[in-house]
């Protein structure tokens, strides 16, 4: 990773964690409520139910994510803690939850404050009038039980229960920038017109006022914290809009230059600042052409990357800052220019990593279908539609100022099996465009093109040629046909790939449940990328998926309850061979990697040695002797064909300039291919 980009990411992430609702000049106080919680079953009828001390973020599913076949706990629990608060003296207090999965009911001193439906967006309640002097009992009733009115109804991923992201207590004066506008920061930077010559902005601020005569000031700060512009307006009504015009703006230009400004809004009574909020943003403009793909700031950008869940080993879906930074770093080093956040809104902390690295984000609503499985992912239920529409509004407003997010995805793999979703999807599209006219709407489909076409601005396909019973060489023809049928609507490829275990090795094809050869995953990816690299009209190319991810419906590969299509392992300790194939094609940093290195026990004396590299040529050494020189084929591969191994250990070493890589393969020609093929199954154990 570029050291400057890494430093920028770390500094921004550290500032972001506690800065979403605070500013140095403001009397506003923000406290994380991580400690002091107890947990007990919601429907325990004992007079004194057994309690467990927990720290938030928390989920009750960390121990059973690998049970498989639907066997993980979907239930209801109560989180409880004390809030020792002094006399308010005119101060206001708000509880802000970054996410509670999936339904939350909030009580203060036994009085209901409010409820929230949907497990992946933030919500906020003012609790000022519910508090008493001294100790106050906060109860959060949480359920991730199956229900028909909260999305996602089903999916090829686990829906973990709990307070999965941080909770904060916000204290303000009587007059404040409101945290109640769908739990957003209350400050929106509208990029009305942006070019390399000029940026016309409107800073919209949501207010909650008890007094008159206040003024709102918007201050634009550059990346070094220096003031660039300042303008003010009377703070009247619920919203104030302040125009700003900047000549020769420094654009957010993807990986090349992910430049970030800060917009601070000060609410002032005379010279006294009574509240203040800061939001980081980047100025950019973009479009998608049906023939030429994605353009950022007027220049074509090949948008390629990965699909990823917000999940980490040991903490499941909890907000794990270290894990999110690690993923972002590895994805950056892979050379990705884009990332698709699936299949629900990810945390703002997660988004911030990609803002600072210059990686474009596809951001997705939790209206997810399970593709070819039994559930359609949608039922025509008024409560489901009402809650999903609210989640859409939260998703957009809470992430409005992110420069990385260019696309709002409305759904994934819904079907027409029971109730047709097209009418509701059109309503979601219209609402998204009303809230945010600048960004493009999209959706991910795997069938029924005629029914989903032209609902959103652009669309993406999920197609697994080479894996789910389809010819591995059909993706190019399919995309050509889809392109012809789409007319003027741009189409992308937002999922493709194959399963792989780092324990399973053979050059044979593998599509059965329990044997997922790493070598075959490489073959599928190589062919798919070769076809997609030559088709610029495919506006996005996103691999399924970034990392192996638990999915309780699966019983396959080397571990029960795991979708192992990732290009890195669930623990992130091992990048699979396919990761390096894409790094060879996407990254500008010099790299060299011997593929199929974990296929250590061989039965065939003659083999090809394949190297993934972005170098023009390399030299192969076998057992210390120069064996061959090879050239790059233009797709990140250097192949040394027909190399003869000796019985026993073989030291394989490849060199290109200052780069080198090596491994050891053992030949036992007395064995058959089937005898040496590894197919170990862990049955739920963590490797």
Contacts of 14 (CB under 8 A, 6+ apart): none
CATH architecture of the domain with range 286-497+537-546+577-587: Alpha-Beta Barrel (3.20)
pLDDT of the residue at 1: 54
Pick one of 2.40.180.10, 3.40.50.300, 3.40.50.460, 2.60.120.260 as the CATH number of 9-173. 2.60.120.260
Query: Which segment of 369-383, 514-528, 619-633, 636-650 scores lowest on mean pLDDT?
Result: 369-383
413 is catalytic: yes
Taking a C-beta distance cutoff of 8 angstroms, is the pair 308, 546 a contact? yes
Name the fold adopted by 601-676: Immunoglobulin-like (2.60.40)
* Of the candidates 390, 678, 371, 340, the residue with the CA atom closest to the CA atom of residue 508: 678
Q: Rounded CA gap, 455 and 448, in Å?
A: 12
* pLDDT(278) > 60: yes
pLDDT of the residue at 70: 55
* Of the candidates 513, 478, 510, 475, the residue with the CA atom closest to the CA atom of residue 496: 475
Q: Rounded CA gap, 335 and 584, in Å?
A: 9
Q: Rounded CA gap, 670 and 502, in Å?
A: 24
Taking a C-beta distance cutoff of 8 angstroms, is the pair 677, 505 a contact? yes
pLDDT per position as a tens digit, 557-596: 888 888 999 999 999 999 999 999 999 999 999 999 999 9
Mutual angle of helices 577-586 and 518-533, in 10-degree steps: 20
Beta strand 304-308 pairing with 538-543: parallel
Report the pLDDT averaged over residues 478-488. Answer: 94
pLDDT of the residue at 583: 98
Q: Rounded CA gap, 69 and 74, in Å?
A: 13
Beta strand 606-613 pairing with 637-644: antiparallel
pLDDT of the residue at 379: 86
What is this structure's pTM? 0.93
- Position 674 confidence tier, pLDDT thresholds 50, 70, 90: confident
Average pLDDT, the chain: 92
pLDDT per position as a tens digit, 126-180: 999 999 999 999 999 999 999 999 999 888 899 999 999 999 999 999 999 999 9
pLDDT of the residue at 672: 83
Which among 279, 394, 413, 495 is annotated as catalytic? 413
* CATH 2.60.40.10 domain residues, the chain: 182-281, 601-676
Taking a C-beta distance cutoff of 8 angstroms, is the pair 618, 656 a contact? yes
pLDDT of the residue at 15: 44
- Position 364 confidence tier, pLDDT thresholds 50, 70, 90: very high
Report the pLDDT averaged over residues 295-316. Answer: 95
* pLDDT(686) > 50: no
Contacts of 634 (CB under 8 A, 6+ apart): none
Report the pLDDT averaged over residues 407-425. Answer: 90
* CATH 3.20.20.80 domain residues, the chain: 286-497+537-546+577-587
pLDDT per position as a tens digit, 180-220: 999 999 999 999 999 999 999 999 999 999 999 999 999 99
**Residue 147 three-state SS:** coil
Give the helix/strand (H/E) hosting 484. Answer: helix 475-486
Taking a C-beta distance cutoff of 8 angstroms, is the pair 258, 301 a contact? no
pLDDT per position as a tens digit, 83-105: 998 877 789 999 999 999 999 99
Name the fold adopted by 182-281: Immunoglobulin-like (2.60.40)
- Give the length of the chain: 687
* pLDDT(684) > 80: no
Beta strand 111-117 pairing with 76-82: unpaired
pLDDT of the residue at 22: 41
pLDDT of the residue at 471: 74
Q: Rounded CA gap, 312 and 625, in Å?
A: 43
Q: Residue 148, exposed/middle/buried by CB under 10 A (0-12, 13-18, 19+)?
A: exposed
Q: Which residue has the tokens 């949907």?
A: 118
* pLDDT(18) > 80: no
Q: Which residue has the tokens 């789409």?
A: 486
Retrieve residue 487's tokens.
């007319």
pLDDT of the residue at 359: 98
373 or 605, higher pLDDT? 605
- Over its C-alpha atoms, the chain yields an Rg (Å, rounded) of 26
Count how many Cα atoms sit within 13 Å of the Cα of residue 125 in the half-sphere of its side chain: 16
Report the pLDDT averaged over residues 61-80. Answer: 79
């Amino acid at each position: 990773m570029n050291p400057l980009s890494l430093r920028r990411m770390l500094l921004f992430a550290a500032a972001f964690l506690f800065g979403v609702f605070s500013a140095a000049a403001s009397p506003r106080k923000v406290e994380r409520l991580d400690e002091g919680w107890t947990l007990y079953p919601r429907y325990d009828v004992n007079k004194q139910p057994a309690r467990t001390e927990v720290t938030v973020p928390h989920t009750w599913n960390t121990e059973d994510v690998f049970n498989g076949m639907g066997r993980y706990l979907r239930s209801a629990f109560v989180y409880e803690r004390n809030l020792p608060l002094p006399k308010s003296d005119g101060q206001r207090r708000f509880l802000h939850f970054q996410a509670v999965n999936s339904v939350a009911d909030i009580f203060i001193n036994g009085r209901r404050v409010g409820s929230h439906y949907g497990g992946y967006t933030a919500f906020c309640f003012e609790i000022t009038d519910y508090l008493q002097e001294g100790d106050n009992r906060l109860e959060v009733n949480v359920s991730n039980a199956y229900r028909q009115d909260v999305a996602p109804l089903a999916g090829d991923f686990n829906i973990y229960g709990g307070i999965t992201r941080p909770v904060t207590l916000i204290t303000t004066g009587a007059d404040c920038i409101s945290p109640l506008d769908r739990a957003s920061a209350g400050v929106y930077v509208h990029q009305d017109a942006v070019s390399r010559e000029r940026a016309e902005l409107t800073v919209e601020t949501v207010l909650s006022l008890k007094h008159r005569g206040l003024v709102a000031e918007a201050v634009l700060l550059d990346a070094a914290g220096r003031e660039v512009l300042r303008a003010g307006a009377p703070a009247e009504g619920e919203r104030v809009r302040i125009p700003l015009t900047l000549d020769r703006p420094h654009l957010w230009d993807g990986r090349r230059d992910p430049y970030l400004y800060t917009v601070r809004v000060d609410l002032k009574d005379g010279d006294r600042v009574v509240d203040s909020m800061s939001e980081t943003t980047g100025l950019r403009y973009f479009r998608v052409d049906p023939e030429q793909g994605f353009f950022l700031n007027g220049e074509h950008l090949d948008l390629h990357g990965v699909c990823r869940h917000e999940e980490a080993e040991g903490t499941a879906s909890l907000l794990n800052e270290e894990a999110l930074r690690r993923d972002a770093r590895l994805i950056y080093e892979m050379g990705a220019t884009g990332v698709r956040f699936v299949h629900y809104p990810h945390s703002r902390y997660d988004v911030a990593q990609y803002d600072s690295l210059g990686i474009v984000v596809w951001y997705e609503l939790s209206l997810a279908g399970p593709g070819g499985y039994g559930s359609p992912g949608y039922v025509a239920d008024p409560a489901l539609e009402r809650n999903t529409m609210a989640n859409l509004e939260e998703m957009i407003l809470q992430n409005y100022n992110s420069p990385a997010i260019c696309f709002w995805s409305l759904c994934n793999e819904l079907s027409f099996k029971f109730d047709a979703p097209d009418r509701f999807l059109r309503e979601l599209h219209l609402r998204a465009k009303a809230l945010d006219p600048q960004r493009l709407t999209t959706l991910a489909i795997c069938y029924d093109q005629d029914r989903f076409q032209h609902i959103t601005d652009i669309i993406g396909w999920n197609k697994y040629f080479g894996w789910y019973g389809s010819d591995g060489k059909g993706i190019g023809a399919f995309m050509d046909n889809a392109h012809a049928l789409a007319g003027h609507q741009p189409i992308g490829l937002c999922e493709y790939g194959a399963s792989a275990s780092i324990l399973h090795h053979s050059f044979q094809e593998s599509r059965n449940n329990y044997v997922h050869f790493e070598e075959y995953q490489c073959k599928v990816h190589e062919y798919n990328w070769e076809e997609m690299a030559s088709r610029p009209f495919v506006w996005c190319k996103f691999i399924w998926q970034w990392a192996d991810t638990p999915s309780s419906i699966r019983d396959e590969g080397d571990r029960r309850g795991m979708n192992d299509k990732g290009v890195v392992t669930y623990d992130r300790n091992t990048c699979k061979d396919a990761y390096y194939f894409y790094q060879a094609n996407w990254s500008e940093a010099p790299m060299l990697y011997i593929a199929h290195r974990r296929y250590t026990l061989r039965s065939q004396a003659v083999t090809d040695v394949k190297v993934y590299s972005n170098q023009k040529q390399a030299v192969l050494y076998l057992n210390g002797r120069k064996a061959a020189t090879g050239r790059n084929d233009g797709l990140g591969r250097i192949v040394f064909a027909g190399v003869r191994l000796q019985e026993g250990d073989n030291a394989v070493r490849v060199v290109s300039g200052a780069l080198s890589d090596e491994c050891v393969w053992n030949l036992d020609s007395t064995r058959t291919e089937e005898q040496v093929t590894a197919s170990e199954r862990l049955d739920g154990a963590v490797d």
